Copies of this chain bind each other. A is one copy, B any other.
């Protein structure tokens, strides 16, 4: 997705430790017009007319997932990080390692809002090691729901999460795959190689 890559090139910053900061338009301040373009682009890769929900993980994926759900005319559900006591009763749970928080995090999702009859599109704004998405796939699997696809806006291609999904039998697509990011700048994977 050319305009997303342009935006990352122009405004993204590379911090020590291969951290790519795109917080001016993706995950702190959010450019909603760009989210709309991303949602439109996902619609080329996934059968969005046939899904029952968009699923994402708290927190930064929520804005993109909301705009996707709006365009595809389905509800949006976000898995929560366990801690709140506001959720009663039956929960799906998945354990993931959060590299942001540097510890294990439990994703929870109420069994009321994901069932075996659901056809789920998972979306997230950003993927590195892919732990959040792995946890979401696990929740979908626990529910016996159908995973229709996984759409990621920006993938850090050198951290393995995306390649692991590409090796699996799942409709995975990332719109901008960063091959390397260092003091020399940001290099994207060629579209054909995604």
Separation in Å of the A36 CB from the closest CB of chain B? 7
Separation in Å of the A129 CB from the closest CB of chain B? 14
A44 in the interface, Cβ–Cβ < 8 Å?
no
A76 in the interface, Cβ–Cβ < 8 Å?
yes
CA A86 – CA B16 in complex, angstroms? 10
Is B113 touching A78 in the complex (CB atoms < 8 A)?
no
Is A101 touching B75 in the complex (CB atoms < 8 A)?
no
Is B78 touching A28 in the complex (CB atoms < 8 A)?
yes
- Looking at A1-9, A58-66, A147-155, the stretch in contact with chain B turns out to be A58-66
Separation in Å of the A27 CB from the closest CB of chain B? 8
Separation in Å of the A4 CB from the closest CB of chain B? 16
CA A106 – CA B176 in complex, angstroms? 32
CA A88 – CA B85 in complex, angstroms? 32
A171 in the interface, Cβ–Cβ < 8 Å?
no
Residue interface bits A56-87, CB-to-B below 8 A is 1, else 0: 00110011011101100001111010011111
A79 and chain B: residue at smallest CB distance: B28
CA A171 – CA B67 in complex, angstroms? 27
Closest 5 CB pairs of A and B: A59-B59, A62-B62, A63-B66, A29-B113, A32-B70
A183 in the interface, Cβ–Cβ < 8 Å?
no
A184 in the interface, Cβ–Cβ < 8 Å?
no
Separation in Å of the A57 CB from the closest CB of chain B? 10
From the candidates B24, B66, B87, name the one contacting A113 in the complex (CB within 8 A): B24
